[in-house]
Amino acid sequence: MASDRRIGVLARHLGVEMDSQSHSANVISASPTSGFQANSVFSHVVRAPEDPILGVTVAYNKDPSPVKLNLGVGAYRTDEGKPLVLNVVRKAEQQLVNDRSRVKEYLPITGLADFNKLSAKLIFGADSPAIQENRVTTVQCLSGTGSLRVGAEFLARHYHQRTIYIPQPTWGNHPKVFTLAGLSVKTYRYYDPATRGLNFQGLLEDIGSAPSGAIVLLHACAHNPTGVDPTLQQWENIRKLMRSKGLLPFFDSAYQGFASGSLDSDAKPVRMFVADGGELLVAQSYAKNMGLYGERVGALSIVCRNADVAGRVESQLKLVIRPMYSNPPIHGASIVAFILKDRNLYNEWTIELKAMADRIISMRRQLFDALRARGTPGDWSHIIKQIGMFTFTGLNSAQVAFMTKEYHIYMTSDGRISMAGLSSKTVPHLADAIHAAVTRAAYN
Ligand SMILES: Cc1ncc(COP(=O)(O)O)c(C=O)c1O
């Protein structure tokens, strides 16, 4: 019978033994799925743990409680707790959609040329000498993460020092991105738990003892997770030290405009390093400041000594990108270029950006006041001193676990909370939870 023959072929394919009389009955009665599972070529694969940051949302989504609160992921929410699409983004998208001349052809390997030019201008400043001297190469990448990865892959292939120093603590993805790109990761002291501020002395000592030429990852502003940034004077000292030792700065700029509400102020540390004529890398993300999280829009810029080097560096960046994802997506970069090019939209963007930054600052004040009103033990002034999207509360992992279990508040186990996920309505709930966590001895 034809069906018997087909079953026989399938059985041989699956490595099932049978005699010619009984095979049809055997195969039909056996569960086909159990056979597949037993023979999977992937049966040795162990389940990986959830990503420590994105896993917070996975756990949050499973919680049926109506009072649950997700302060884990760094995504902006309105005071009603809703995700926000900026008005300027909606306007730009509408106009892009209405423009029938736009097509969906591939972008070049380096991305949208206008987007690259405007992104460099945004971070380095309109009158940047490095841009005027054509010694910056900028390539469009997949948001901040992709820009870091492309930069790191380039360094691993073409830079003489493979060691990168990252702050302790830092964004959890940094060590993975750099290690997988082939760099060797070391840390420098950054945060002082006693003051909940910068460990400036430790930072200078560690960077000062790095081998000559080492790469140093610097958060351009709004350090994640601590919310602690060096002052401009401290940045100047860091710059002098790094330049004197020939260390290579790699800036991660994921929050330009989000820290102070001003795009120019937040770019000052990067511009200080560019002004001295030295070389550096910058990874930019438009996830937070334009709310384009899922569009994956970012840029990697490498500032070089001269235009000739910049051109050669760009040619090698293409060789990094081409086998990775060929070329970047067109939609998000078109939105950004449209907004950055149009004076009115740009101005509107800066107003919306400032409103987001101000709402976060007001959440800091409200949470601080709420803890003070409850008489919560401890000094909570770091909540208003820290900057950007996150507050590094100082709560320990047991206290965090308690707040999740008893109050359905989700956050990373290092005690980091996203201020952008908080609203006037949810501040009291969070303050109650923190108060309970720090006053119950068992969790201290
Ligand atoms: C410090 C830092 N760098 C880079 C990123 C990368 O974000 P994205 O890839 O979404 O632009 C983030 C996101 O949270 C971040 O906090």
One domain for residues 263 and 398: no
pLDDT reported for residue 137: 98
User: What is the helix (H) or strand (E) element at residue 90, kind and residue range?
Assistant: helix 87-98
| pLDDT tens for each residue of 377-405 | 999 999 999 999 999 999 999 999 999 99
Q: Is residue 252 part of a domain?
A: yes
Averaged pLDDT of the chain: 91
Tell me the residue range of the domain where 400 lies: 53-84+358-441
Helix intervals (H) in 246-342: 263-266, 268-275, 307-325, 331-341
**CATH, residue 225:** 3.40.640.10
Q: What's the CA-to-centroid distance between 173 and ligand 1, angstroms?
A: 8
Q: What's the CA-to-centroid distance between 48 and ligand 1, angstroms?
A: 22
For ligand 1, what atom is nearest to the CA of residue 144?
11
Structural domain count, the chain = 2
- Amino acid at site 224: N
Q: Which residues line ligand 1 (CB under 6 A)?
A: 74, 143-145, 171, 219, 224, 252, 254, 285, 287, 298
- Amino acid at site 79: D
One domain for residues 75 and 128: no
Q: Which of 282, 308, 341 is the last residue of a domain?
A: 341
Out of 252, 284, 295, 390, mutate this one to test ligand 1's pocket (max ligand atoms within 8 Å of CB): namely 252
Q: What's the CA-to-centroid distance between 283 and ligand 1, angstroms?
A: 10
One domain for residues 290 and 151: yes
Q: Which of 341, 376, 401 is the last residue of a domain?
A: 341
Return all residues near 402 (Cβ < 8 A) that are at least 6 apart: 436, 437, 440, 443
One domain for residues 236 and 302: yes
- Supply the residue whose CA is at minimum distance from atom 2 of ligand 1: 254
Q: What's the CA-to-centroid distance between 19 and ligand 1, angstroms?
A: 59
Q: Is residue 93 part of a domain?
A: no
Can you say whether residue 319 is alpha, beta or left, with left for phi > 0 and alpha for psi between -120 and 50 degrees? alpha
One domain for residues 389 and 317: no
For ligand 1, what atom is nearest to the CA of residue 293?
10
Q: Is residue 35 part of a domain?
A: no
Q: Known catalytic residues? A: 171, 252, 288
| pLDDT tens for each residue of 315-340 | 999 999 999 999 999 999 999 999 99
- Supply the residue whose CA is at minimum distance from atom 8 of ligand 1: 144
Give the pLDDT band (50/70/90) at residue 74.
confident
pTM: 0.89
pLDDT reported for residue 37: 54
Q: Which of 311, 341, 371 is the last residue of a domain?
A: 341
**CATH, residue 373:** 3.90.1150.10
pLDDT reported for residue 126: 93
CA gap 430, 133 in Å, rounded? 51
User: What is the helix (H) or strand (E) element at residue 400, kind and residue range?
Assistant: helix 397-407
One domain for residues 135 and 238: yes
CA gap 361, 359 in Å, rounded? 5
For ligand 1, what atom is nearest to the CA of residue 147?
9
One domain for residues 247 and 379: no
Q: Provide the 10 A C-beta neighbour count for residue 256.
A: 26
pLDDT reported for residue 17: 46
Strand ranges for 190-342 from DSSP E:
191-192, 197-198, 215-219, 248-253, 280-285, 297-303
| pLDDT tens for each residue of 159-205 | 999 999 999 999 999 999 999 999 999 999 999 999 989 999 999 99
pLDDT reported for residue 86: 98
One domain for residues 363 and 247: no
Taking alpha carbons only, the member of 119, 422, 140 closest to residue 256 is 119
pLDDT reported for residue 244: 97
Q: Is residue 346 part of a domain?
A: no
One domain for residues 155 and 75: no
Please report where in the chains the tokens 């049926």 appear, as a residue: 64
One domain for residues 137 and 282: yes
Q: Is residue 44 part of a domain?
A: no
One domain for residues 235 and 201: yes
Q: Is residue 432 part of a domain?
A: yes
Q: Is residue 337 part of a domain?
A: yes
- pLDDT above 90 for 247: yes
Largest CA distance in the chain: 87
How many separate helices (H) and strands (E) can be counted in the chain? 19, 13
Q: Is residue 30 part of a domain?
A: no
Q: What are the CB-based long-range contacts (under 8 Å, 24+) for 395-401?
A: 395/434, 395/437, 395/438, 396/443, 396/444, 398/443, 398/444, 399/437, 399/438, 399/443, 399/444, 400/437
Tokens read off for 1: 């019978």
One domain for residues 393 and 277: no
| pLDDT tens for each residue of 86-109 | 999 999 999 999 999 999 999 999
Which of 1-15, 120-134, 194-208 comes out lowest in average pLDDT?
A: 1-15
- pLDDT above 50 for 22: no
Strands 297-303, 136-142: pairing is antiparallel
